[in-house]
Amino acid sequence: MKKLIAGVVLGVSLSAVAYGAGDPEAGKELVSGMACQSCHGQGGAQPMMGNYPKLAGMGEVYLTRQLKHIQDGTRNIPEMAGQLNGLSDQNLQDLAAYFDQQPVGLNQADPALVERGAAIYRGGNMASGVPACAGCHNPQGKGNEPAGYPRLSGQNAEYVAKQLRAFRDGERAATANAQIMADVASRLTDAEIEAVANYVSGLH
């Protein structure tokens, strides 16, 4: 785990994205000519399907990195094929800045899963070696913008569960940060994934 954390620190330093370098107005103009809203909803706040992510307020640094990974094929998302073709690094950061500034709405968490989800999110699982999610993603789920850790508060539970399974199954492990998450997710059971994903969807 220490080696993975060191790798993340090195990866962040080698591929730093300056927060605030994106122009949200330029991003808004780009979005108007793209198909983003057809899947992610107005302002990226309400996706058409639960397994699509909310982009609103996710973090400029995180979103910029993910857009670059999608564009260069590091992260394979079939639904995004061709969507970012021809866009410059500045275009991607402008898009990220625009979505980051959009208001985030919360979902309604399932009361039956909240207690277990909260326990994992805030305290992890010492028996299986799962660290507390709050350590990187903030106690309120606001993420860590300088480190590029995404906001989880209000994110669709179905999407969060899908990504945790992807990390666990090795489908998302191509970057240093993804390797950290792959290690964490490998220790989570299906029931724990469902509980923590549900919890963050209503976290505020």
CA–CA separation, 153 vs 46, rounded Å? 14
Residue 144 phi, psi dihedral angles, 5° rounding: -135, 95
Distance CA 121, CA 149 (A): 15
Q: How far apart are CA 132 and CA 138, in angstroms?
A: 10
Q: Which fold has domain 111-201?
A: Cytochrome Bc1 Complex; Chain D, domain 2 (1.10.760)
Same fold, 15-100 and 111-201: yes
**What value does the mean pLDDT take over residues 38-61?**
96
pLDDT tens by residue, 60-81? 999 999 999 999 999 999 999 9
Whole-number Å distance between alpha carbons of 99 and 56 = 5
* Mean of pLDDT values over 122-135: 98
Give the residue extent of every domain in the chain.
15-100, 111-201
DSSP bridge pairs for 149 = 144
> Residue 10: pLDDT above 50?
no
pLDDT in tens, 171-196: 999 999 999 999 999 999 999 999 99
Dist CA 106 CA 30 (whole Å) = 26
